[in-house]
A and B are shown apart, each in its own frame.
Chain A
Amino acid sequence: MSATNTQTSDAAKPKGLVAQWFALLWADKFAFFAALFLLIAVLCAIFGPLLFETLATKQNLRGRNAPPFDLSRGWAFILGADALGRPLLARIVVAARNTLLVAGAAVVASAVIGTTLGLIAGYSRKRAAQWIMRLGDVIMSFPSLLLAVIVLYMLEPSIANIVLVLAITRIPIYLRTARAEVLEVRERMFVQAAKVMGASDMRIIFRHILPVILPTLVTIATLDFAFVMLAESALSFLGIGIQAPEITWGLMVSQGRPYLTNAWWLSFWPGLAIILTTLSLNLLSNWMRIALDPTQRWRLEMGGRKNG
């Protein structure tokens, strides 16, 4: 809070915007490697199916449950092979697309819808707010798996429908968090000050309230990412999610479950991919929370220099 802080931020000014953000990211090494991992995962999702589709689906019954770290069958088998002798590494790379697509779309959709509804419910004191909250309660009172089973039983199990189901079941989380935060922030003095200036409701919501509550919601969204990935695998396990030969990491975990005692690698590697993705998202969101907050940013601008 003193003059020294201001000097560091002034000194960082002349650099370009991209360079500035890169410097902020580099300042937090964990976040940097998290971003790197996510970049690789996204690249896998985009190019993986093009490059390894055939490799990942080719069965090789002589290599059933081949153990990992054995290069004799070629580099693709470094992580071992599954129950049909398909190379795990290639399958993980290919599965990245479906996994990230389903989880990403579901999380983004539920976060956007839930936050919007939460902002409305928190900011307006009209009856609409009550309706929104009761709607949230209704969704929450349904076991999400039951809802998914019913919906997917009626609709075709396709990627779009899975995204739809998962998004609906996760809406109340964002709805309730956003509403609770809005109720607090709307009473803050700077919102009152904006009202005195004659600011419109839209301006108050998007300029003054949303930036304050966004970090919380982003953090929840990254945590939810893992939950959605696992929920998707549960649906796939029940036969109403992604269907073979399509693959996702969650589906790979559940397919490997019968072999856990004698071939742990079947579930372990896709599980690790899920964990690393979630962890990376979490580290990155933590970094983002600091980087986007002007009162905290100096921690990164100090360039990781430690005092005391």
Chain B
Amino acid sequence: MADHLLEVRDLSVEFHTAAGTVKAVQNVNWYLDRGETLAILGESGSGKSVSASAVMNLIDMPPGKITSGAILLNGKDMLKMSAEERRAINGAKIAMIFQDPLAHLNPVFTVGWQIAEMMTTHGRPRDKAAARARDLLHRVGLPEPDLAFGKYPHQFSGGQRQRLMIAMALACKPDILIADEPTTALDVTVQAQVLALLEELQQETGMGLLLITHDLGVVAEIADRVVVMNGGQIVETGNASEVYHNPQHPYTKKLIAAAPGSGEMPEESDRRGEPLLRATDLHKYYSAFHALKGVDLTIMPGETVAVVGESGSGKSTLARAILRLDDPSSGQIHYRGKDLMTLGPRELFGLRRDLQMVFQDPTQSLNPRMTVFQLISEAWAIHPEILPRKQWRDRVAELLTKVGLKPEMAVRYPHQFSGGQRQRIAIARALAMEPKLIVCDEAVSALDVSIQAQVIELLAGLRREMGLSYLFIAHDLPVVRDFADRVIVMKSGEIVEEGPVRQIFEAPRKDYTRALLAASLDPDPEIQAARRTARMELEMAVSA
């Protein structure tokens, strides 16, 4: 049998922590051939990154320990090599790119210097290295590549930085490129471009691409084969489209079912009567920067309005303006006919009860030094008229049950919960105010796909039960498809398109909406392939 380019055989890694030994991965087997793309798919904590870290010798030992297995590069076991040999392989034979490029680029050196350094450390003369760095900057499609050589990392956007990382990784013409969540931090349209670039480069150089991701869409877009991991073990492996269409393991089935954007879309809602909230002609300036350019918005009672846009579109500024966290520069916001902008502090304080917010990252939005009970009951400490102190304990228990947690969890602290549970606590806290409208600012973006589905389910249930309205802010469209009544698409501070969800998804009127829809990745490899053709055509049409 011919040797694979890279093979991980029977690998087990343990971590010794204060809470006991954690088996990060157990008996993992996979291989990667030349010119092939393998995706390791898994949710957070599944151990999907561990085997790649072992390949790159990035596991800190101790506390980590490789208890069994072998990592074969062209048939040679890397675990038996000296540190010296391993270093010679890293970067030269195997290169890696990461989720957050800004954290992996040194802010005080120019990017050209950093790319060249990659080659000089592997023994290339400085002038040749600089020349190749220039070539690479051209190749990865940066605008004005000649100027880019002398710029610093902060002068690039997120997508451009990821291109820089790719240039750096390719500097020594590696045989293998490991990409750890390369597009997770990027906007959907940029994500599509970066994935396309990776694929092109792979075809050009014939390298093996190992992609670590949590996103079925990314797998569908780029992977030949997929390894599905859960709880440190491989649950399923096979051809990407086969695994999608005919999943064997219950976990894979669950994961595929949880992918957003596959359910029924709600019918158009009745929009007569008095709106709950109406914002007209909102403007917001941050000194010279015009963040909101005349935005209008209406939310009816019991309605869910989704605001979708990429980073910098002004969607969060809009949410903050409505809650008066940042006052808009001009414009009006009416809540049930009352002008929020002219209200005094006392009346505004009363209205705070009706308008609540759930933030993107529950790890940061919950005070780490307060117990769940304190967090939820703070609402009543601030607004004592809601509930007398005697009933706090019962009501907290009730709210916890309502969001799918157990009442006895009230004595715990936020760090003792998982991400999805924390977001449930944040929702319970918002519910404690008995609000009419909840603003969800990317409330599910930081969560795993299956958890995301559960939280959206919870929000939808609460809407039915309590007649809540939501302003739901998201950066990609599939998430809002099953949940929202109306969708507003925003770009650079302006509303591009607004309409009932069915109209936006089935008959988008504006090019930008179409581009956004085309860029969002579908978990089905076949649909994704069709979308890609559509996207190419769209790009041709735009550039023509």
Contacts and interface: CB of A to CB of B under 8 A. Distances in A.
Interface of A: 1-2, 4-6, 9-10, 13, 188-190, 192-200, 203, 207-208, 211-212, 292-295, 298-299, 302, 307-308
Nearest to B378: A197
B323 A196 contact: yes
A2 B16 CA distance: 13
Given A189-B364, A197-B378, A302-B18, A308 B353 contact: no
Interface of B: 16-22, 62-63, 323, 325, 348-349, 352-353, 355-357, 359, 361, 364-369, 371, 378-379, 381-383, 411-413, 415-416, 426, 429, 433
A207 B369 CA distance: 10
A222 to B, nearest CB: 20
Contact of A1 (B348, B359, B415): B415
Contacts of B17: 307-308
Contacts of A190: 364-368
Contacts, number: 92
A2 B323 CA distance: 35
Nearest to A293: B369
29 contacts: A1-B415, A2-B22, A4-B20, A5-B19, A6-B412, A9-B412, A188-B364, A189-B364, A190-B364, A190-B365, A190-B366, A192-B365, A193-B366, A194-B367, A196-B355, A197-B429, A198-B382, A199-B382, A200-B382, A203-B381, A203-B382, A294-B369, A294-B415, A295-B413, A307-B16, A307-B17, A307-B21, A308-B16, A308-B17
A189 B19 contact: no
Contact of B18 (A212, A293, A299): A299
Contacts of B416: 1, 5-6, 9
A196 B19 contact: no
A199 B429 CA distance: 13
A197 B379 contact: yes
Given A6-B412, A307-B16, A199 B21 contact: no
B366 A196 contact: no
Nearest to A214: B369
B109 to A, nearest CB: 27
A167 B349 CA distance: 40
A208 B415 CA distance: 16
A3 B321 CA distance: 39
B382 A193 contact: no
Contacts of A302: 18
Contacts of A207: 378
A208 B367 contact: yes
Q: When A and B form their complex, which 4 residue pairs have the shortest distance between CB atoms, in order from nearest?
A: A308-B16, A198-B352, A189-B364, A294-B413
Nearest to A299: B18
A193 B369 contact: no
A189 B361 contact: yes
B433 A197 contact: yes
A47 to B, nearest CB: 38
Nearest to B364: A189
A199 B18 CA distance: 37
A293 B381 CA distance: 23
A189 B426 CA distance: 12
Given A211-B369, A307-B20, A308-B62, A194 B378 contact: yes
Contacts of A293: 368-369
A211 B367 CA distance: 10
A192 B319 CA distance: 13
Given A9-B412, A295-B413, 14 more contacts: A4-B19, A6-B416, A190-B364, A190-B365, A190-B368, A192-B365, A193-B359, A197-B352, A197-B379, A298-B18, A307-B19, A308-B17, A308-B21, A308-B62
Nearest to B433: A197
Contacts of A2: 19, 22
Contacts of B348: 198
Contacts of A4: 19-20
B368 A193 contact: no
Nearest to A306: B18
B349 A198 contact: yes
B364 A196 contact: no
Contacts of A203: 381-382
Contact of A212 (B21, B359, B369): B369
Contacts of B355: 196
A196 B415 contact: no
A208 to B, nearest CB: 6
B151 to A, nearest CB: 28
A9 B411 CA distance: 10
Contacts of A199: 378, 382
Given A198-B349, A198-B382, A295 B361 contact: no
